[in-house]
Amino acid sequence: MEVSIGLQAIIIILASITCQSLRRRPLTELFGKFDAYWLKELCIGSLIGSALMLAPALILEIFGWVRWQWNPEDVSVLLPSLLLFAGVAVAEESLFRGFVFQRLISGTGQWVAQLVTAAFFLLTHLNNPGMTDGVKVMTSINIFLASILFGLAMSLGLHWIANWVQGGVLGFGVSGSEQSGLLIPVFGDVSVWLTGGQFGLEASLPGLICVVMTLIMLYMMKPEKTKSNT
């Protein structure tokens, strides 16, 4: 029986709350405090997530490697995909950057926690559709670094909107899952590692470059005290 992404998110959140309650620790350790600062972080993460996908798409357009057509379904595809990727982001961030991640940080330090979590994050994507020999190495590096990126800051908004822009707006596959977007990409006769092919922008060379640049930017933005603990 297939479990919907919404139900997965609920199960992971309830399990996290239960574990935190047994430790008699506040839930804000896992989810943060839902205040103006949390909303600001969500918005900033969403902006960065948008840029993370729009920048490589622009590169592909400039070089003529991909062009776009309007989807006949038009804007009707935007809201369902926005909700879908909200569920994906909540489920994956609660699982990979939630209770287990916080306990790893406490026990091993942030860098070890980041690397272990990134390895598990990659493992869950290895058998996705489109993970072919032509892009497997590129995709694996990209996903591994993306996990570290999500672990630095603003993970929910960044993850959510990056997926939505990639799939719901630009019409690429998202981690190998085919999506119906506002636009339909038409691929030129170029190598799949340039465009990401069926897997999506996250398997492309421009996508990898943008992830690396964003990772460096967010790391440089971290307070010096936080950096010293990584």
Q: Judge whether residue 83 has pLDDT over 90.
A: yes
**Tally of domains within the chain:** 1
12, 95 contact by CB (below 8 A): yes
Looking at residue 130, its pLDDT comes to 83
Which residues constitute the domain of residue 37? 5-227
pLDDT in tens, 12-35: 999 999 999 999 999 998 888 899
**Residue from 142, 139, 173 nearest 66 by CA:** 173
Mean pLDDT along residues 150-172: 95
Q: To the nearest whole number, what is the mean pLDDT of the chain?
A: 91
Residue 135 pLDDT exceeds 90: no
User: Which residue has 């590096």 as its token pair?
Assistant: 141
Strand residue runs (E) in the chain = 66-70, 183-187
Q: Say whether pLDDT at 224 is over 60.
A: no
Helix, strand, coil percentages in the chain from 3-state DSSP, rounded to 5: 70, 5, 25
Judge whether residue 230 has pLDDT over 50: no
CA distances from 211 to 3, 54, 103 (A): 30, 12, 26
The tokens of 138 are what?
Answer: 């590129």
Is 91 in contact with 158 (CB distance < 8 Å)?
Answer: no
Higher pLDDT, 36 or 135: 36
State residue 223's pLDDT score: 63
How far CA 8 is from CA of 55, 93, 119, 229, in Å, comes to 31, 12, 21, 32
Reply yes or no on whether the pLDDT at 225 is more than 50.
no
Structure-derived torsion over alpha carbons of residues 8, 14, 16, 19, reported in degrees to the nearest 10: -140
Tell me the whole-structure pTM to 2 decimals.
0.93
Query: Could you give the 3-state DSSP secondary structure of residue 128?
Result: coil
